[in-house]
Amino acid sequence: MGISIKHVSKSYGEFHVLKDINLEIKKGELISLLGPSGSGKTTLLRIIAGLEQADQGSILFEGADQTNVHVKNRNVGFVFQHYALFRNMTVFENVAYGLKVRPRKERLSKKEIKQKVDELLNIVRLKEFGERYPSQLSGGQRQRVALARALAVNPQVLLLDEPFGALDAKVRKELRRWLRKVHDEFHITSVFVTHDQEEALDISDRVVIMNDGRIEQVGTPEAVYEMPENPFVYDFLGTVNQFKGRLDSGYIYDGNFKFEVPGDVKTIKTAASGVGFARPHHFIVEKTPNDESGIHCQAEHIRAIGSTVQLELKRTDTGDIIEIELTKEYFLKLQITVGDDLYVRPKQLKVFCSS
């Protein structure tokens, strides 16, 4: 079931939550709406579901206009962050609820309902917990029950609003892999809201990055991370070092740092403001100066994590901190200790003109 979102806007008084949103979601795709708090991602999800109405614009499912269709007639499954399970019902009864309240002419027989629920509980690895109550389950188990309940009614679209937000990191990682597996098995169009970048990049076919009620970029996880289209996306996704300075004749100048810039920015001949971005693993680190693009720093903090070592280096010209990530092998080769003088330069720098 493909979803078309056309010119959707939504305001609460003077606050514009969504500003002319246009998005095409492909049939069978798992797409993440990713952005900071207040970016409009949950409001957009609720408008797709029919839980809220847009001030303008339309929502289409496979070309059929759903804009004014009631939520109960849109055939969507919704999974919330806080489970929303019925506390006085067993796990089995929670999953079966949507099947039992259908109109009589659409309702399955008791035998068919039991077969369907048992099948879903087996898929979510909770078949032996059918007679337990939600209070007797862990947070991760409750969220799996919530997903099984959403899938029980064979929805055309599955909507998930930060479903793992209340869980600890280890459980979240396990559940997102499991969700990807379930999604691939059911091949249902899914829209997943999260503010967790790792989560979005890990499970999604495509990521929609939102900010201040607008879509900043849409693309595969690899594309949005490796090829950000603007400074917001670059800064939002992962750790990044910024170099703010003057662009002139194909170079960016920041303190004593001078670096040749690539692409269209290089054509700027007159002085303009610009900002360059480089991720921590995109640096060459040396103990002796190599050329004028090297930045003189002092090692302030060293933290070894698994096979990588993270460095915090203080620039001697501006006092700014540069975060560097090295392989443990390269770190040991350099024999870096706190207080050492180092010279670093980015292997690649993405530069945007800011004026």
CATH number at residue 36: 3.40.50.300
Positive or negative, the Cα torsion across 37, 39, 43, 47?
negative
Domain boundary among 236, 252, 286: 236
Domain coverage including residue 331: 241-353
Q: How confident is the model at residue 238 (pLDDT cuts 50, 70, 90)?
A: confident
Structure tokens at 110: 């008791």
Place of tokens 């910024």: 242
CATH number at residue 246: 2.40.50.100
Residue 280 and residue 270 in contact, taking contact as beta carbons nearer than 8 Å = no
pLDDT tens-place string over residues 51-89 = 999 999 999 999 999 999 998 888 898 888 777 888 999
Across the range 205-209, mean pLDDT stands at: 97
Read off φ and ψ for residue 248, nearest 5 degrees: -160, 125
The interaxial angle of helices 169-186 and 139-152, nearest 10 deg, is 20
Query: Among 32-41, 290-299, 306-315, which is the least confidently predicted range?
Result: 290-299
Query: Among 165-169, 296-300, 313-317, which is the least confidently predicted range?
Result: 165-169
Give yes or no: residues 246 and 347 share one domain.
yes
Q: How confident is the model at residue 40 (pLDDT cuts 50, 70, 90)?
A: very high
Domain boundary among 236, 266, 301: 236
Question: What's the domain count of the chain?
Answer: 2
pLDDT tens-place string over residues 110-151 = 899 999 899 888 888 888 999 999 999 988 888 888 888 888
Structure tokens at 42: 């949950």
Place of tokens 């070592």: 309
Structure tokens at 342: 């180092």
Place of tokens 């530069």: 351
Residue 336 and residue 286 in contact, taking contact as beta carbons nearer than 8 Å = no
Give yes or no: residues 146 and 170 share one domain.
yes
Residue 218 and residue 23 in contact, taking contact as beta carbons nearer than 8 Å = yes
Residue 270 has pLDDT above 80, yes or no: no
Give yes or no: residues 246 and 175 share one domain.
no
Positive or negative, the Cα torsion across 128, 134, 135, 141?
positive
Structure tokens at 174: 């396990």
Residue 269 has pLDDT above 60, yes or no: no
Give yes or no: residues 228 and 289 share one domain.
no
Domain boundary among 208, 236, 264: 236
